[in-house]
Structure 1
């Protein structure tokens, strides 16, 4: 077991001792830290320090607000100033790992759905035997790229706003964001459907699945390399 996994497992055990406001604030802080420009190892290292501090405060009966102050985000930012940030090479490796992971998942789903659909038509209508070649259209390509980009920005948005101050206007902003989200997804889906006949190329099913497996494996290797000490 490497150092990151060991630290993560120990932190998870300590986290179970928190409850109430301690648990809620810790969850938001960890979410915020995961969106920061630091490696997963340093996220777990900072998390360990925070857990120790929270558990000690819990034993003393001290309130979270009293322990940290009113601005949780400022508190986390002050900690992050003293933590080594990722190098440019680490950031590129992380981005490539995320892209490959998204590519593997989306393409894998596309290949499986396409093949299962052909098999069902063959079984129900007794038509010609389904081909093991899966077409990839312009709509599919746009769909893959759009969902990947959206996923990256959406996760970053969740992390960055985890400790945002609650304001009366935040409810309206959340509703607008929710509507924009659905509008974006609807536009991407329509684009996929309207451009499905513009086939760019076809790929053999088993070759495609091999590419999916290779993408997921490479993504995992890049993620491990990024977090090596």
Structure 2
């Protein structure tokens, strides 16, 4: 009987502690999640779908790192069958992580600045000179729509977009991975061309740019292609650092 009494007393003490810990964990989880919505409506911020794709590629790269480490270990031990198996898994992950060149059907979107008014009085009503150029959020809107449309890979100008890629616009110039580009800007995507086109048509942010294109003369065009070839992402994924 004393043993049963001691056990009951222990549960009376432990149960509230367990419930309290569960409550703390739920609060921490809620605060950590912060209600993030990958399909948020703020179309002028860095697209959440792009960030989600970056996180997915980071996970793939991490898996590739782990498998490569296993390959190295197995190579040292000369376990030939295991080495080949793991190496095949590594190679299967490389395309999805952007570590190899890819090609396939898709489309290319071209964005261009409008001819700029020579004098301020030539501006359209309620517009500013900055309205006549392509901005960072315009590029991001297109990228966001293409990811949403199922793009398997993206390329801006001549560079493959990877998990550490940073697209920045300053004035009429685009800066990407230490290189400077001038308009027109080309964004290519590999995937189902019809699905990609539909995603562009359904994007509110892209529709806004197209409206501005009609009103102010900004350049917007879409070209479908049976085959688009993209290079490997140039940043060293296995270390997570920039070249």
Q: What range describes the TM-score normalised by the shorter chain of this pair?
A: under 0.3
Q: Whose relative contact order is higher, 1 or 2, with alpha carbons under 8 Å and at least 6 apart?
A: 1
User: Which of these two proteins has the greater Rg computed from alpha carbons?
Assistant: 2
User: Which is richer in strand?
Assistant: 2
TM-score normalised by L of structure 1: 0.24
User: Which is richer in helix?
Assistant: 1
TM-score normalised by L of structure 2: 0.23
